[in-house]
Amino acid sequence: MASLNITKARANFPALQSGFIFADNAGGSQAVRGVVDRISDYLLNTNVQLGADYSVSVLSTDRVASGPDIAVKLFNASSPSEIVYGSSSTLNLENLARGLEPTIEAGDEFIVTGEHEANTGPWKKLAARRGGVVKFWHAVPTSPDNPYSVATRIEDLLPLITARTRIVAISACSNILGSIVPVKDVVQAVRREAAAKGAANVEVSVDCVAYAPHRRIDVKEWDVDYCVFSWYKVYGPHCSAMYVRSKALQSSVTSIAHHFLSVGSTAYKLQPGGPGYELVYGTTGVLPYLLSLVPPPANVASSDDPTIAHLDAAFAAIAAHEQELLKPLLGFLTAPEQVARGVRIVGTEHSGLHRVPTVSFVVVGPQAKRSRDIVEVFDRKGGVGIRWGHFYAYTLIDDLEPKLDTADGVVRISLVHYNTVAEVQRIVEILKEALL
């Protein structure tokens, strides 16, 4: 397996040259230079309305159309007509819920998690508007020694499914817990259970916002109906892409676009007013960057998509480097002296390919510390950016037992592949002082 050249990767991010340690990447990564160059080029040279016959508009239209072409690869979707662009994943999923609203009946059931509200709130509000029923797939403790080490389990999900189940909304990766959910296994189990119980039209919505920077999405392999990620957390601009399966566009989704537009069974049904053109074009800089991280693999079968195989190699290298980042951070936070002090990981306590380098923790017990006070030490020292809070996974934090203060939440350190082991060591040095 090819390894990352971290120096070469970091050279693509001008912001990293300052020496500041960006460790709040789950809130938003740095933008790769190629993305910024495209945005600037678009605004300076092709900033006109789309769809006209004059040459600059034709070029502008082609540039904007190239955004969904690139998103197809990152989703492994079948067609650009399945790709929706919006200003955020929250807005994309809210628009999706609005588009599904006419097909929802009283008594339809929605299964959601306590994860980020983007893939929870729209379904709760839709159920309230249409007389639906909301059920929660809760994370449960997995360690006898740490009640905050929680995860979702398939065996807890299946009893929630009935003949009235309509939407199952899950996260591929938790933006708090750092744990990766086996989406393919979950969806297969959901579809088997739904078929056995007579649920005729179960659709699955997957939030990949915390997953996309770390692993390759595969909506075909997963057999999901809806999937969303945020470009600005995958080294791109502040916008979002959403996959909507073509079958769902034909049979489930109604148009929320202007009534006089002929949108057919395309994703434009869910794209009222159009996205920011320069941002859509800017996203085309993400794929070339990811592919630049490792050489293309040799001996790709003729039937395989070489871009997908190359992405697999890139994400394998990313995942391997991320484990090197995780080990010293988790090793420090789970050391016996830190556990005795009251440090508890919120989520998966151990490194491994089952988790990403998003690490959340609290300090409880006789030496309890507020999360905000720990982060304040970092802010006073400067040079490192981490955060405290619930990070829009309010329900997950509120469900934890013993109870935590949702207003204070957790301390979260979120790393990506452009972080270095030396940066993690600096973070650990400051943590030693902050936890005294």
CB-side neighbour CA atoms (13 Å) of 170: 26
Q: Judging by beta carbons within 10 Å of its beta carbon (0-12, 13-18, 19+), is residue 85 exposed, middle or buried? A: buried
How far, in Å, CA of 71 to CA of 170, rounded?
21
Count of residues in the chain: 436
Give the pLDDT confidence score for residue 214 in this predicted structure. 98
Give the pLDDT confidence score for residue 301 in this predicted structure. 77
Give the pLDDT confidence score for residue 81 in this predicted structure. 96
Place of tokens 């919505």: 205
Which stretches of 76-162 are DSSP H helices? 89-100, 121-130, 154-157
Amino acid found at 421: V
Rg (the chain; Cα; Å): 22
- Whether domain 42-290 has CATH 3.40.640.10: yes
Do β-strands 358-363 and 410-414 pair in parallel, antiparallel, or remain unpaired? antiparallel
> Which CA distances in Å does 436 have to 68, 343, 396, 429?
50, 11, 28, 12
Give the pLDDT confidence score for residue 379 in this predicted structure. 98
Give the pLDDT confidence score for residue 419 in this predicted structure. 98
Contact 320, 221 (CB under 8 A): no
Helix-strand-coil percent breakdown of the chain, rounded to 5? 45, 15, 40
> Which CA distances in Å does 277 have to 70, 107, 205, 415?
15, 40, 26, 29
> Which CA distances in Å does 173 have to 8, 94, 217, 271?
28, 20, 11, 26
Give the pLDDT confidence score for residue 422 in this predicted structure. 98
- The phi and psi torsions of 149 (rounded to 5 degrees) equal -85, 90
Provide the total of helices (H) and of strands (E) in the chain, helices listed first.
16, 15
Amino acid found at 205: S
Give the pLDDT confidence score for residue 105 in this predicted structure. 97
Contact 9, 293 (CB under 8 A): yes
- Give the closest residue to 208 by CA, choosing from 71, 76, 110, 75: 75
Which contacts of 140-143 are long-range, i.e. CB under 8 A and separated by 24 or more positions? 143/349
Contact 416, 317 (CB under 8 A): no
In the numeric block, which tokens belong to residue 368? 């309890």
How far, in Å, CA of 391 to CA of 389, rounded?
6
Q: pLDDT 10s per residue in the chain (436 long)? A: 789 999 999 999 999 999 999 999 999 999 999 999 999 999 999 999 999 999 999 999 999 999 999 999 999 999 999 999 999 999 999 999 999 999 999 999 999 999 999 999 999 999 999 999 999 999 999 999 999 999 999 999 999 999 999 999 999 999 999 999 999 999 999 999 999 999 999 999 999 999 999 999 999 999 999 999 999 999 999 999 999 999 999 999 999 999 998 888 889 999 998 889 999 999 999 999 999 999 999 888 776 899 999 999 999 999 999 999 999 999 999 999 999 999 999 999 999 999 999 999 999 999 999 999 999 999 999 999 999 999 999 999 999 999 999 999 999 999 999 999 999 999 999 999 999 9
CATH class of 6-30+305-434: alpha beta
Chain-centroid distance of CA 119 in Å reads: 10
Domain ranges of the chain: 6-30+305-434, 42-290
Q: How many CB atoms lie within 10 A of CB 272?
A: 15
